[in-house]
Amino acid sequence: MDSTPLGERPVTVIRRYRNEDHDAVYDICVRTADAGGDARGKYASDDLMPDLFAGPYLHLEPDLAFVLARGERVVGYVLGTADTASFVRACRAEWIPRLAHRYPAPTRSPRTPDEEMIALHHRPERMLLPQLADYPAHLHIDLLPEAQGGGHGRRLIETFLAAVARAGAGALHVGMVTANVRARGFYDRLGFHEIPVPDPGPVTYLGRPTTG
């Protein structure tokens, strides 16, 4: 329980990502990467999931990354791109080579959970589904449990929607693990609708306009 006197509790704000927030974003990503639960220790490196689902956005699209800060402490974030096709090309040209020492190109079909994730890293084109073409922007949002349920997630989404709308994206999509029922309710309340995608695997795709 927070024993800090009410008048002394730090203010919670949304602000643009800064380079010094990198480690905090990575930490939040892995702590929420197991269908919303803690994935620390699930893979050989706790950086694996952030390297797939946070790092490329921080590196390639820092102007579209926002953090939820409670005082000086980062407790959540939203990040993404206004143009998925351009982002995929940048991942192929820049992000994958940047991490080649850490994740060499696979030489066999994946046999372990780590190898499955590394195979995804080397296949950014997986994001280019024809059913998502009318929703060019996409995002990832994660909040620590202590920051959930207070309207902060909605504010982060609204901040991101406004940013990608200014960048020219008329609609946005998000891919969520279908088993994360709590997340589905969150997106439903924010006006997202399901986008039918054949054989989506463990993922459900949701979309909405960036304005309205």
Tokens describing residue 178: 């279908």
118-151 pLDDT, tens digit per residue, is: 999 999 999 999 999 999 999 999 999 999 989 9
pTM score of the predicted model:
0.92
Q: What's the number of CA atoms in the CB half-sphere (13 Å) around residue 84?
A: 23
The angle at the Cα of 25, spanning 165 to 210, to the nearest 5 degrees, equals 15
Q: Show the domains of the chain with their CATH numbers.
A: 6-209 (3.40.630.30)
* Contact yes or no for 205/173 (Cβ under 8 A): yes
> For 79-118, what is each residue's pLDDT tens digit?
999 999 999 999 999 999 999 999 999 999 999 999 999 9
The answer to whether 140 and 54 are in contact (CB under 8 A) is: yes
Confidence at residue 9, expressed as pLDDT on a 0 to 100 scale: 75
Q: What is residue 212's predicted lDDT score, i.e. its pLDDT?
A: 79
pLDDT at 5: 52
Reply yes or no on whether the pLDDT at 158 is more than 50. yes
Question: How does pLDDT run across 169-191, given as a tens digit for each residue?
Answer: 999 999 998 988 889 999 999 99
Percent pLDDT > 90 in the chain is: 88
Residue 1 banded pLDDT, cuts 50, 70, 90? very low
